[in-house]
Structure 1
Amino acid sequence: MASANGCEYIGFHSLGPLLDRSGRVSDLRLERVLIRVNAASGGHGVPAPDRASPPTARVLTILDFLSRYPHDRFGLSELARRVDLSKPTCLGILTTLTDAGYLLRDTDSKTYRLGPALISLGHIAQESLRVSPAARDELRRLSEQFEATAALSAVVDDRITLLELVAPPGAPVGVRVGQSYPFAPPVGLMFVLWDDAAVRHWLQKEPTIPLRTDGDRLDRVIAECRRAGYLVERMTPGGRRLYALMAGMSNTLPDELRALLGELVSDIGERVYLRDEADADRRHDVSVIAAPVYDHHRRQVMVATMQIGAALTDDEISRRAQALIQTADAVTRLLGGVKAARS
């Protein structure tokens, strides 16, 4: 809940049942994790500078709350209660945002929801991050070809952020544009493995969860992914839970949560599929395939991904990976970038 000065609040993340590393439901359940963050920091756990504005933080709290429930509408009383603001303060903010078009007010039900002004603002933000309509067209072609979700993401302000996403009609997506994750081991390998300096810098970050690092295997993962031009992440119970739990969380997690997540994934690169390790006669559970997008300095600036969530043969993996590389290369050209040579 918010403190009296509006600078801090307590957030609850519902985690549900936990899986052990074999994929079985653990006896341990963690229904809620209590996380204290600075409201003025946008919920990322970064201490607010002295010049932070509590009134602005209250506006952001309302917008962030409504963005988590895009299909719902809230009246003044409920919204004020849910974001822990007084009704007069909440009403003033809602009125100003509605007048500016950032919210819509239903005159019959006297409820509020996100407004059209945010659409243009979001499009401008996307373009400022170099995601153009043409890039979305490339993702759409890939999505239609394989009936899969295709996306672009990048590291923005030291967080992995989803910039664009195209999914088949009616497909359950589970993520949304703008969603972000902490950029620290074990999350983020696909954003750095194409450059030695980037790999070293990433590995020097404090891990989000307790890790073991098999240096020999990591070196092999990096070498083979660079040679192939793509990375394939296997679908494991731990991997699925890891991303679900970490979505939107701060870069600094409570010790209890770090320990629990460490039971899910404990080694960098352990979920990466390597063809020379695979049994060619069987199907492999694949979560995602990723390929790099480059700028004009031949530096990786984004990752193009295809969500799989199914068991594929080696040849099926290869066909999808090659199509994904073509999409990533097309986005590179749209950015005026130059593809780095494969190692």
Structure 2
Amino acid sequence: MGTVSGRASPPTDRVVRILDFLAGHPRDRFGVSELARRVELSKPTCLGIVTALTEAGYLVRDPGDKTYRLGPSLITLGHRAQESMRVSPAARDQLRLLSSRFGATAALSAVIDDRITLLDLAAPPGARPGVEVGQSYPFAPPVGLMFVLWDDEAEREWLRKPPTIPLRTDSERLKRVVACCRADGYLVERQTPGGRRLYSLMAGMPTDLPDELRALLGELVSDIGERVYLRDENTGRRRHDISVISAPVFDHYRRQVMVASMQVGKPLTDNEITERARAVVATADAVTRQLGGSAPER
């Protein structure tokens, strides 16, 4: 997470620890004794906090076994947080339409406190997306290319960040990727199974990974832009293993504020890639209009 200035508040810390723990176990219930042990608080302190949170509706207490779980007030709080980040019900409808059309997971994400955070998603019935709303990733190379493609200065600042893993950067290749993506209005990423696992492993990780782990992850991802699919490099009928297709959402200053994306995770032909990419762009453009925004010239 981003660095926050100011003095720490131990009492607030304790409340956050309890809520974070329960959020990590949404299907489980915990008695005060176990909860206190799991979050390393004294039982009286824990009891006082969960009692106050229950009275406010942030937790629910089962009168039978006297266990606690997350409460309904957090639903309202979550919706308000999404609205503050410009994720409206209309935007969610756009994600559902995209997800339903292709039977794939569609999502909106943004850079918040220097981390890429998943703001909302829609998945096919019964699907397990493997990611959750609120999940975040370090915004540092190689993760986050889609958030800087339309802003030269943002791209330079991103490239100056210490990479999360060792990388080789082919400047000419990256320039070509940027030019093609700006012309097309979308980014298509190809990844190996190992590369796909990297993103799930990085969820919640800090950017300052141990050197040994960084070297290991570096074996999965090499050059920025190397995994990008470009139309004019890939003609013919053969299929391409596609991971994700993304398109930018802009505000009224024509600044990129979010990314709409569709998880693919399977081989597609060139025509299938183009069809899905255009649908993702249409979704991103619809969200842009809902924000009163407009895209820069492509």
Inter-CA distance 326–213: structure 2 relative to 1 (3 Å threshold)? same
**Do residues 152 (structure 1) and 123 (structure 2) align?**
no
SS in 2 for 1:139: helix
What's 2:157 paired with?
201
CA contact (8 A) 1:149 1:166 kept: yes
Task: Work out whether 1:51 is the aligned partner of 2:7.
Answer: yes
Structure with greater strand percent? 1
Q: What is the match of residue 240 of structure 1?
A: 196
Shift of 1:302: 0.4
- Alignment partner for residue 82 of structure 1, among 32, 35, 38? 38
Displacement of 1:328 = 0.5
Task: Tell me what 1:169 maps to.
Answer: 125
Pairing 1:1-343 to 2, within 5 Å after superposition: 44=1, 46=3, 49=5, 51-278=7-234, 280-342=236-298
How far is the alpha carbon of 1:125 from its aligned partner?
Answer: 0.6
Which residue identity does 1:174 align to in structure 2?
G
Contact persistence 2:2–2:114 (CA under 8 A): no
TM-score, length of structure 1 as denominator length: 0.84
Q: Is the 8 Å Cα contact of residues 2 and 113 (structure 2) preserved in structure 1?
A: no
Stretches of 4+ aligned residues off by more than 6 angstroms: none
Deviates more, 1:259-268 or 1:317-326: 259-268
Q: Deviations over 1:256-297 (max 9, x none)?
A: 322222222122122211222225221111111000000111
The question of whether the paired residues in 1 share the 8 Å contact of 2:189 and 2:227 is answered with: yes
Q: Does the CA contact (< 8 Å) of 1:75 and 1:112 recur in 2?
A: yes
SS of residue paired to 1:316: helix
Tell me the amino acid that sits aligned with residue 141 of structure 2. P
Amino acid at match of 1:190: M
**C-alpha displacement of 1:164:** 0.8
Alpha-carbon distance in structure 2 between the residues aligned to 1:188 and 1:172: 23
Corresponding residue number in structure 2 for 1:28: none
CA gap of 1:50–1:227, structure 2 versus 1, over 3 A, is: closer
**Contact 2:107/2:119 (<8 A) preserved:** yes
- The answer to whether the 8 Å contact 1:45/1:251 transfers is no
How many angstroms apart in 2 are the aligned matches of 1:271 and 1:177?
A: 25
Instruction: Report SS of the residue matched to 2:265.
Output: strand
* Paired residue type of 2:285: D
- Residues 20-53 of structure 1, C-alpha deviation per residue, up to 9 Å, x if partnerless? xxxxxxxxxxxxxxxxxxxxxxxx384x656111
Instruction: Identify unmatched segments of 5+ residues in structure 1.
Output: 1-43
Q: TM-score, normalised by structure 2?
A: 0.96
Deviation for aligned residue 1:205: 0.9
